Structure 1
Amino acid sequence: MHSLETDSTYSWIRLGLTLLVACIANAGMWMIITIMPAVEAEFGTTRAEAAIPYTLMMIGFALGNFLIGKAVDRFGVTLSLILAALGIMAGMGIAILSNSIFMLSVGQLLVGLGSAVGFGPLIADISHWFVKRRGIAVALVASGNYLSGAIWPMSLAGVLEDSGWRTVYLVMILATGLGVIPLALTLRRQVSHAAKDAAQVASSLNARSVGLSPRALQYLLGLAGIGCCVAMSMPQVHIVALCVDLGFGPAVGAEMLSLMLMGGVASRIVSGLVADKLGGVMTLLIGSVLQCIALFLYLPAGGIVSLYLVSLVFGLSQGGIVPSYALIVREYMPAHEAGARVGFVLMATIFGMALGGWLSGVIYDLSGSYQLAFINGIVWNGLNIAIMLWLLTRSRPRAPRGIATA
């Protein structure tokens, strides 16, 4: 039987509060994309130089998933959220005062580091409060990242046009301080040690069936995460450039990217429901196979209608992949290390996105088209599928009967 703490009314209330925090805390990683043209114009830089703050923000975001995840394990989610919010606010303050791309980049590194609290660390925390519905709970919190990207840039577009990007950042400082910090105080309650100990028993049994230590399995999942996200990055990072090359213009590419993100939110929710029935490994395998098929569909797609359709299919296929890693960590690894373990694997997926975006650009420069870049993504996707198939054949995780799990 399950612990009375998990899948309770409080668990669902906490889920709603956590999702709200995620929608605010993740805003920093999307706002830098929105203000990039204004920054380029103000500082008189090249497009590549204007992208440096975004690159450093993503590095900070990747590292923050691991470092803040460890902090959540040790100090709890409330203190970690408050410190991360202060970091976001400080980073945006530096950005507002910046008079160079370098100073803006330093600010964005700090923004990325703090914003990470809204992804892996929150996913790890909510996973302790659900057993029967852990899949959908994790998927909803992970969707906060995409929802943030849909809400904030659109909401602040008028502020950007009328008052400039520094005012946009000032609004985000206020939103972070007045939103994240009070909400963090509502999440002070922690799951009991008894519930975590019971979860430890279940994960230990699953881990022994695989025959790998938690550290070895963590590294294997990190490699799988790099593989799937190198593949995932090709359409997400380069769809606008592909549309420009085909003569459709950047606005069409931006619409296709939005379609992907909306499909990704739907995919995350459906994948969460599937994971509650089939487990994390099988759910990730299904998503990875569907993503691979979608990448193949991009190869013959050259018309505007076909690209819209394939972009929607791609979004619907890949959204549930990254949250599934958190579920696998919880199924196979110690509960009291969830923050650090989930953070490490999600850090690997973010680095995979960065590597894939760069690799696709290099392949395009060398070959003159994106065909080989899509094939490169398919090969990396195959690595992910192979690892998931290996895990699936070694173990089918089950919570032991009669044990309260968390």
Structure 2
Amino acid sequence: MASPPLVDSRASWIIATAALCCLGMTFGAPLISTVGLKAIAGEMGGARSVPALGGSLAWLGSAVGGVMMGRLAHRFGVRWTVMAGSVSVCLGLFISTLGEPWLLYIGHGVFIGFLGMGGLNAPLYVYVSQWFERRRGSALALLSSGSYIAGVVWPLVFEHTISTWGWRATMMGYGVLEAAVVLMLASRFLRPAADTSVRTAEHKGGERPTVFGLRPNTAFVMLAGAAFLCCIPMAMPQSHLVALCSDRGLPAAVGAAMLSVLLAAAFISRQAWGLVADRIGGLRTALISSVMQAAAVSGYLHVTEQFGLFTVSIAFGLGFSALIPAYVLAVREAFPAREAYWRVPSLMLMSGCGMAVGGWLAGYLYDQYASYDPAFLTGVLSNVANLALLGTLVVLQVRWMRRAVA
């Protein structure tokens, strides 16, 4: 078999773009429950926590499944986990239309999340990072924009198809489209990767007794905890913005457009964040982005008018967009490359758990208080705790770098 092209080549960017398109299709699946939240809730007892929990289970399933799928991709190749995952997403959407809350939970949590998104998300992060060295931050920023491309393209489409044909027909039609596109891309572009940094680390033994002066697993737990805490507020606007706009007297179409604008801002700014991360590193990038996210989430507590909500949503998109690729880059920078296949999925397990908790918690607190204010206040407090962990790691990193230079 011929050797794969060198990293950081034109072929590397083609492969990263194909992986981006796969994620863009896959992440469209749980957005149907977000856009159709009120319609689905209306047919399942009226509680918004039911479809909200379905979306949260998709994120949770993706996070848990990514750990297992990362190992399978390491053993058998990412192409097979991606292809199996795309078929599973299609099956999960069909199961979710069968009319009972528990079937919605199984369809989203097991098939869309654990087997579907779990087979694509974390394995593709590891896979794409193996094709880059100097521009790894930019490549990860591009790949992680798959959810934003989905958010820009699909909410307006889903709002129209749900209002015209219903949420069940939307799920079934999209499932078939998603499987067809991802199967084609995976079979054509996802070739075996050669990571020179992995080979170098193996030749050197990958020796790294400490990370910023801490035991490696201690530093990793702190980083994973920060990812969990920052993803709780990250999930709230993305999961409930359409419903929030409706509660504040705005049409569902405006809410869907606002979600698209939010994710469009996130997509555009994430590419800039990738360049920043290439210069200052993943950990410092995550800290700056987290500060901006906390400020934007607090805006949802005070703004009620359409223009103000659009402004806050754009600010939120600009702020949080760096976080996930920055965390992945921080793992690749701080730990041996040969450990990426399990450390990256484990980190994304924690971030996915945070997304799951945030999306469900916002729906639960709304059902309790008939307002989203308690949810966003909880999100701000979670973000403050995240900043404490990230700030500690950055301080330790700076001290460690100074001692290394001295």
Q: 1:167-182 to 2 correspondence within 5 Å?
A: 167-182=169-184
Matched, 1:112 2:116: no
Aligned to 2:318: 316
Does the 8 Å CA contact 2:20/2:142 hold for their aligned counterparts? yes
Does the 8 Å CA contact 1:73/1:336 hold for their aligned counterparts? no
Q: 1:38-117 to 2 correspondence within 5 Å?
A: 38-40=39-41, 46-95=47-96, 98-109=98-109, 110-113=111-114, 114-117=116-119
Aligned to 1:26: 27
Does the 8 Å CA contact 2:52/2:359 hold for their aligned counterparts? no
Aligned to 1:349: 351
Matched, 1:233 2:235: yes
Does the 8 Å CA contact 1:120/1:346 hold for their aligned counterparts? yes
Q: 1:183-332 to 2 correspondence within 5 Å?
A: 183-192=185-194, 194-199=196-201, 208-248=210-250, 250-332=252-334
Aligned to 1:126: 128
Unpaired runs of 5+ residues, structure 1, are 400-406
How far, CA to CA, are the matches of 2:185 and 2:322 in structure 1? 26
Distance 1:306 1:366, change over 3 A: same
The letter for the 1-side match of 2:77 is: G
How far, CA to CA, are the matches of 2:376 and 2:233 in structure 1? 8
Does the 8 Å CA contact 1:267/1:318 hold for their aligned counterparts? no
Distance 1:36 1:298, change over 3 A: closer
Task: Give SS of 2:145's match.
Answer: helix
Does the 8 Å CA contact 1:36/1:50 hold for their aligned counterparts? yes
Distance 1:50 1:224, change over 3 A: closer
Distance 1:365 1:54, change over 3 A: closer
Aligned to 1:403: none
How far, CA to CA, are the matches of 2:252 and 2:85 in structure 1? 34
Task: Give SS of 2:7's match.
Answer: coil
Distance 1:334 1:13, change over 3 A: same
The letter for the 1-side match of 2:16 is: L
Unpaired runs of 5+ residues, structure 2, are 402-406
- The count of residues paired between Structure 1 and Structure 2 equals 396
Distance 1:372 1:343, change over 3 A: same
Does the 8 Å CA contact 1:207/1:333 hold for their aligned counterparts? no
Distance 1:196 1:304, change over 3 A: same
Aligned to 2:404: none
How far, CA to CA, are the matches of 2:37 and 2:245 in structure 1? 20
Does the 8 Å CA contact 1:223/1:348 hold for their aligned counterparts? yes
Task: Give SS of 2:57's match.
Answer: helix
How far, CA to CA, are the matches of 1:370 and 1:172 in structure 2? 30
How far, CA to CA, are the matches of 2:218 and 2:226 in structure 1? 12
TM-score normalised by structure 1 residue count: 0.84
The letter for the 1-side match of 2:74 is: D
Distance 1:249 1:349, change over 3 A: same
How far, CA to CA, are the matches of 1:101 and 1:134 in structure 2? 41
How far, CA to CA, are the matches of 1:29 and 1:294 in structure 2? 24
Task: Give SS of 1:186's match.
Answer: helix
Deviation at 1:380, TM superposition (A): 2.0
Deviation at 1:5, TM superposition (A): 1.8
The letter for the 2-side match of 1:219 is: V
Moved more, 244-253 or 79-88: 244-253
Deviation at 1:153, TM superposition (A): 4.3
